[in-house]
Structure 1
């Protein structure tokens, strides 16, 4: 349990830094001529042909919408939610983090939970994007396993060992979407599921208790 908690403390900032650091690389001289405009975002996503391309395109949008020091916290969180809408399969993620309990709620309740989950994740992660200091992020190979594709990467820190980050993507129609991220062997989906199912179990198996808990945390 202690090891898991230590990994969690590393994973949360590393996950945020990973996306920001690859945007830093793409904004450098080698990529300066390829920086996308806001109007080209949808076209570039549709044109992505590999899971690796999706991670790189996510990164290029993150630098525009998350790292600007002039952004207010509310705007940064809104931009974070927009990126999740575009690149993450929130319906799949929501069912996974609810465990078996997702079967006990209606589609409307699941959609409501997914919206609150986005706001909750944005509240926890978005503010960390303003602190990027130019650490190096290296995208490696991608591997197919059953119906999912895993993109390997490393977050290289100047003051510590590199952090391994694996992006898990699944193809929906003609595009890939992220369904999980593993940092140093710790699945963020499993970590969130453990936290959420504990709340549900303490409240007699009622998902509504978790929903209200999230609503209070995000101020809705």
Structure 2
């Protein structure tokens, strides 16, 4: 348990830094905030890209939309949610983090949960991007395993050993989307599922208790 908690403390800032530390292509949607700055970095993105290209482009868009020191907290969170909409398969992630309990709710309730999950993650993690200091992020190879593609990367810290980050992507139509991220062997999806299912189990197996919990946390 101590080892798992220590990994979690490393994983969150490392994951935040990893998303914003690639300095390759800058592409994608206009973000809230400084429209002139964002549009000056926008280029057309091809419909079909490799999984590795998706990770690089995600990181580049995050530089534009999350690290600007002039952004308000609300704008930074809005931009974080926009990135999740574009690059993460939130329907797949939502079902996974609910475990077997997702089968007990309606599609409408699942959609509401997915929206609240995005807001919850943005509330917890978006603010970390304003302290980005340009640590090095190295994207490695990608490997196919069954229907998913795993992109290996490392977050290189000046004050410690490199942190291994593996992005799990799945192809939906003509595009890849992220369904999980593993940091130093710790799956963010599994970590979140353990937290959420514990709340559900404490409330008689009712997903509505977790949904209400998230609603209160994000102020909705």
Q: TM-score by structure 1 length?
A: 0.91
CA distance in 2, matches of 1:89, 1:204: 28
Q: Say if 1:211 and 1:29 are closer, same or farther in 2 by CA, change over 3 A.
A: closer
Q: Is the 8 A contact 2:135 2:155 kept in 1?
A: yes
Question: Partners in 2 of 1:175 and 1:118 — Cα distance?
Answer: 20
Instruction: Judge conservation of contact 1:25–1:136 (CA < 8 Å) in 2.
Output: no
Offset at residue 60 of structure 1 (A) = 1.3
Q: CA deviation at 1:22?
A: 1.5
CA distance in 1, matches of 2:119, 2:33: 33
Q: 1:90 to 1:29 in 2, by over 3 A?
A: closer
Distance of 2:61 and 2:72 partners within structure 1: 17
Q: 1:124 to 1:31 in 2, by over 3 A?
A: closer
* Contact 1:97–1:190 (Cα < 8 Å) also in 2: yes
- What is the CA distance between 1:43 and its match in structure 2? 7.3
Q: Residues 133-163 of structure 1: CA distance to partner in whole angstroms, max 9, x if unpaired?
A: 1110000000000000000000000000000
Task: Write the deviation string for residues 160-202 of structure 1: whole angstroms up to 9, x where unpaired.
Answer: 0000000000000000000000000000000000000000000
Note the C-alpha offset of 1:26.
Answer: 6.9
Q: Measure, in 2, the Cα distance between the counterparts of 1:216 and 1:161.
A: 38
Cα distance change on mapping 1:162 and 1:180 into 2, 3 Å: same
2:79 alignment counterpart: 79
- Whose helix fraction is larger, Structure 1's or Structure 2's? 1
Alpha-carbon distance in 1 for matches of 2:91, 2:159: 37
For the structure 1 residues 160 and 113, does the alpha-carbon distance in structure 2 shift closer, same or farther, using more than 3 Å as the test? same
Paired residue secondary structure (1:100): helix
Give ranges in structure 1 of 5+ residues lacking alignment: none
Moved more, 28-37 or 87-96: 28-37
Which string of whole-angstrom CA distances, capped at 9 and with x for unpartnered residues, describes residues 98-122 of structure 1? 0000000000000000000000000
* 1:50 and 1:176 in contact (8 A); partners too: yes
Deviation of the 1:49 alpha carbon: 1.9
Deviation at 1:47, TM superposition (A): 3.1
Change (3 A) 1:27 1:205: closer
- Single out whichever of 28-37 and 77-86 deviates more from structure 2: 28-37
Cα separation, partners in 2 of 1:111 and 1:70, compared to 1, 3 Å: same
What CA distance in whole angstroms lies between the structure 1 residues aligned with 2:62 and 2:86?
12
CA distance 1:94–1:29, shift in 2 (3 Å): closer
Residue 33 of structure 1 aligns to a residue whose secondary structure is coil
Cα distance in 2 for residues equivalent to 1:123 and 1:29: 21
RMSD of equivalent CA atoms: 4.3
* Contact kept in structure 2, 1:44 and 1:57, CA below 8 Å: no
- Per the TM alignment, residue 36 of structure 1 is displaced from its structure 2 partner at its CA by 12
2:187, 2:95 → 1: CA distance?
Answer: 15
The Cα shift of 1:23 comes to 4.0
What is the alpha-carbon distance in structure 2 between the residues aligned to residue 34 and residue 112 of structure 1? 30
